[in-house]
């Protein structure tokens, strides 16, 4: 198994209030959010982002840690699973001109509304069955995406990541105590598989995932 490492440490974090979010979200809101369509990205805030547009302050501070940790250069190839509108890939391309990038997302809306320079490298696809050959990428990245699948599907996706990439980094919704579990349950909008960090590690081993990982906790 890889290592637990916070490669997202420089990603800006806003002050979160899980209790307020829980009181304002309904099951109908969650059903709409899980369609990952326009409402999730650019609709009302109760369905998701409330407007998903590019801002360099999010990914530009994060990219250098990925470059350093995985020794990336212009000969490297990267896959972003759950790439949305391609913001992270755009910043990789700016940081390392010539790097090979691909993005895949379940949402046709996100792919259709990708940044123009990234759009040629984006496609609609499913993390459970990645449309790439074995060992196609030096690095696969999936940020707060795989937990949106049912547990068996999540395991399939981990095995697919191992198949198509030589290195990987993922982040997942998780908790390490009852307080964090309650906060996660209150915060959660789209995740279908949320586990204790120890259970996630066991799950990685069961599914042969050897990449790096970290957690999202509100």
Instruction: Enumerate domains of the chain plus CATH numbers.
Output: 18-216 (3.40.50.150)
Contact 40, 48 (CB under 8 A): yes
Tokens, residue 171: 């982040």
Residue 21 pLDDT = 63
- Is the pTM for the entire model greater than 0.85? yes
What residues contact residue 14 under an 8 Å CB cut-off, 6+ apart?
none
Residue 192 pLDDT = 97
Residue 217 pLDDT = 92
For the chain, how far is it from start to end, CA to CA, in angstroms? 25
Residue 1 pLDDT = 75
Q: For each successive 10 residues of the chain (218 residues), what is the average pLDDT?
A: 94 74 80 97 95 97 98 98 98 98 98 98 97 98 98 98 98 97 92 98 98 96
- The DSSP symbol for 137 reads B
Residue 20 pLDDT = 63
């Amino acid at each position: 198994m890889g290592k637990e490492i916070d490669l997202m440490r420089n990603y800006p974090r806003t002050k979160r209030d899980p209790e307020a979010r829980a009181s304002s979200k309904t099951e109908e809101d969650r059903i709409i959010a899980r369609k990952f369509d326009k409402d999730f990205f650019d609709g009302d805030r109760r369905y998701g982002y409330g407007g998903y547009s590019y801002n360099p302050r999010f990914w530009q501070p994060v990219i250098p840690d990925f470059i350093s940790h995985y020794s990336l250069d212009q000969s490297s190839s990267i896959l972003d699973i759950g790439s949305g509108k391609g913001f992270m890939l755009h910043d990789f391309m700016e940081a390392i001109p010539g790097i090979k990038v691909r993005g895949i997302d379940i949402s046709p809306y996100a792919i259709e509304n990708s940044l123009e320079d990234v759009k040629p490298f984006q496609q609609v696809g499913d993390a459970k069955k990645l449309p790439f050959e074995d060992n196609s990428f030096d690095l696969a990245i999936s940020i707060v995406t795989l937990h949106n699948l049912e547990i068996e599907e999540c395991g399939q996706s981990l095995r697919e990541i191992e198949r198509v990439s030589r290195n990987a980094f993922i982040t997942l919704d998780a908790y390490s105590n009852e307080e964090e579990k309650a906060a996660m349950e209150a915060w959660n909008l789209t995740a279908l598989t949320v586990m204790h960090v120890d259970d996630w590690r066991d799950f990685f081993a069961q599914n042969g995932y050897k990449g790096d990982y970290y957690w999202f906790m509100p």
